[in-house]
Amino acid sequence: MAKYKKKRARELKHDRFRDATMLLVDRLADRIGQHRTQILYGLIGLVVVAIGIYAIVRWRGRHAEEAGAAMGRAIAVSIADIGPNPPPGSRDPFFTSQQERSERAIQEFEKVAAKYGEPYRTEARYFIAMK
């Protein structure tokens, strides 16, 4: 055991802050000890809820990206070039008549309207009406 001078030993014995802090910590530990299973279940519940929220947000983000890409493909078809021969090396959609392009664009927009919810359904219906 360490040897202290009398004054330091007296200070250690009567340290009010330490006594109050230790008393508070002891009370908190007793309360936690009595309710540790409830606290553990609560923490597990929070983790499960957080994982669920993360999964939903991630799924919605992927779904929105997929819907945006489908809408982009449909718009690309609706504004595709029309002519007798496709340009060499072009990967864009190409049609020989306005009628053919309109029918294909309507099919693409109907796919978007059938598969995805709002606001993509409304936009797809708007583009169908414009064709």
Alpha helices in the chain (DSSP H): 6-13, 16-34, 36-78, 98-115, 120-130
- 18-36, pLDDT tens digit by residue? 777 888 888 888 888 888 8
Percent of the chain with pLDDT over 90: 34
Q: Which of 108, 112, 128 lies closest to 120, judged by CA?
A: 112
Can you give the pTM of this predicted structure?
0.61
Provide mean pLDDT across the span 79-92: 78
**Cα gap 111→101, rounded to integer Å:** 15
pLDDT (tens digit per residue) in 90-113: 777 888 888 888 899 999 999 999
Has residue 54 got a pLDDT over 90?
Answer: yes
